């Protein structure tokens, strides 16, 4: 399968809010969580946060790419900021915050 097509497909599925299909594709290839895509050129975690994802999908994306919570988008925003600006639920914002704190504790 063409990797560019797969990455594009993952972001397209996220933008279409086809959560089960996203999960299926991600379970086949977790490295897709590291790929930049969508019209905003972001990681799948950020693309998902801009599209009101279910909590379990955010957990799956973070599990596949824990470093994503500390990666800024092209505007310099961390995923927690994207979650807040996108008016994600407090559960989603909390998951991002918790994962970010966990990542920082491993760095220091």
How many independent structural domains does the chain possess?
1
Total count of residues recorded for the chain: 108
pLDDT of 99 reads 75
Residue 17 class from Cβ within 10 Å (0-12 exposed, 13-18 middle, 19+ buried)? middle
pLDDT of 55 reads 94
pLDDT of 104 reads 42
pTM here?
Answer: 0.80
Question: Which residues of the chain, if any, have pLDDT below 70?
Answer: 1-7, 100-108
Q: What percent of the chain is modeled with pLDDT above 90?
A: 52
E-strand stretches of the chain: none
- Residue 86's SS3 state is coil
Residues 62, 73: Cα–Cα separation, whole Å: 16
Q: Which domain does 23 fall in, by range? A: 3-107
We report the CATH number of the domain holding residue 42 as 1.25.40.20
pLDDT of 107 reads 39
Question: Mind spelling out the 3-state secondary structure of 35-54?
Answer: CCECCCCECHHHHHHCCCCC
């Amino acid at each position: 399968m063409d990797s560019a097509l797969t990455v594009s497909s993952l972001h397209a599925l996220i933008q279409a809010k086809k959560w089960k299909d996203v999960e299926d594709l991600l379970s086949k290839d977790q490295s897709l969580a590291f790929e930049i895509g969508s019209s905003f050129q972001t990681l799948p975690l950020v693309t998902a946060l801009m599209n009101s994802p279910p909590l379990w999908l955010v957990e799956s994306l973070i599990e596949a790419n824990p470093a994503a919570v500390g990666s800024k988008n092209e505007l310099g925003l961390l995923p927690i900021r994207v979650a807040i600006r996108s008016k994600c639920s407090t559960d989603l914002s909390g998951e991002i915050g918790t994962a970010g704190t966990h990542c920082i504790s491993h760095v220091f």
